Every structure is written in structure tokens, then in C-alpha cells.
Amino acid sequence: MNRREYSARTDVEKELLSPKPPIYSAVLQRVRPDEGPRTDQSAPSDGANAQNPKPKTNSIISMKKLIALLATVMLAFSAAAGEYADISVNDLEKAIKAGKVTVIDVNGAKSFQKGHIPGAIAFKNADTLKGKLPKDKDALIVAYCGGPKCSAYKRGASAAEKLGYTNIKHLSAGISGWKSAGKKLEKK
């Protein structure tokens, strides 16, 4: 072993020898397998010792809590990032028949004239939604565009969200999915 390797190894050892959970002693033994067990790190790798025969599980519990916290934070950020829940073609059709949804078409004027989901509002900008959306801010609002790879629906959905609506969904199948499911179109 040359000086450079020895120096790098001793820096790692210093880090590993600092007071940390017992798992680090197992790592240290893997780093230095040729020298046998360390006398200054004699605790078994499972955390058990003569005074406490039970293994320490605090680090495992802490790790589980950390993972749960990270998952919660990531979920919160994705929800806050303007992602909207999906609604299926069949569920949207049922809501339309029951009169329990307002649909926003974000495909543009020409596409809207060629055919749109029945009862849909043509979205141009946020001002076009004022007065056309229900007074109940918890009412179901569904925005759609061309299909699964189209993200134009976000303009309509975020405009409704800025107006205070809280139950906004996305028809990810879009107008192409509506047509391929054999559903009726409305033309204006």
C-alpha cells in the first residue's frame, strides 16, 4: 500500500471511528478485513452487548421514519406542483349524465368546433371561465386536451384552481380517448 492509499484509508477510518451507530463497525471491518476485529469497536454489529443483550433497533426505526417522512414530502410536492387526479372516460360520462361536472376543453377553437365532449366550455384564457363555472368551489371540474401526451389541459385546470376551485381532475385520455371509446361528440 502506498502513502496516498494509506492517507485516504485513514481519513475514511477517522470518519468511521467517530461515535456512530454499530453498523459502522461492520463497515469498518469490511474496509479492513485483513487486520481482524478492532479492539476499540468491539460491540457486535447487531448492537447487542453484555449489559444489553437485545439488538438496538433505534437506527432501524429512525431510518423507517426518515423514509416515511421523505415519501410524505415528495407526495406533498407533487400535489402542490399542479398535478391533477385523473378521471376515466366512463366516470366522466356518468358525471356528465348526472349533471355533476363542468368540463373544460383546452384544444383550441378549431378543434372545439370540429367536436368536443358534450357540454364542454372552450378555454381561451382564464377570463373565459369566469361566469361559466359553478358557484360551488368544491364542484367537479374536468380539464382535457388532445390525449395522454398532451399537457395543455394544465392551463385550464390551473386557471380554475386560481379561481378557487378545489375538485379539479384531468381526463388524460383526452378527446382522442373519448372518440376511441365510441362516445358522442358535440359540435358547435
Q: All domains of the chain, ordered by start, with CATH?
A: 3-80 (no CATH), 85-180 (3.40.250.10)
Q: pLDDT for 53-106, tens place per residue?
A: 555 566 777 778 888 877 777 666 554 445 899 999 999 999 999 999 999 999
Neighbours of 95 (CB within 10 A): 17
pLDDT confidence of residue 81:
45
**Dihedral-angle region of residue 11 (phi above 0 means left; psi in -120 to 50 means alpha; beta otherwise):** alpha
Q: Is 61 helix (H, G, I), strand (E, B) or coil?
A: helix
Q: Is the pLDDT of residue 50 over 90?
A: no
- β-pairing, 121-122 vs 140-144, is unpaired
What grid cell was written down for 92?
Answer: 366522466
Q: Which residue has the higher pLDDT, 47 or 170?
A: 170
pLDDT confidence of residue 72:
75
Contact criterion met (CB below 8 Å) for 124 and 69? no
Q: Is the pLDDT of residue 115 over 90?
A: yes
Contact criterion met (CB below 8 Å) for 89 and 177? yes
pLDDT confidence of residue 83:
80
Q: pLDDT for 7-27, tens place per residue?
A: 445 555 555 555 555 554 444
Residues counted in the chain? 188
| Stretch 146-165: mean pLDDT | 93
**Residue from 122, 123, 97, 100 nearest 184 by CA:** 97
Percent helix, strand, coil in the chain, to 5, is 45, 10, 45
pLDDT confidence of residue 28:
46
Q: Return the minimum-mean-pLDDT range out of 48-52, 87-91, 148-152.
A: 48-52
pLDDT confidence of residue 170:
95
Q: Is the pLDDT of residue 121 over 90?
A: yes
- Sequence-distant (6+) residues with CB within 8 A of 139 are 100, 101, 102, 133, 165, 167
In single-letter form, the type of residue at position 160 comes to A
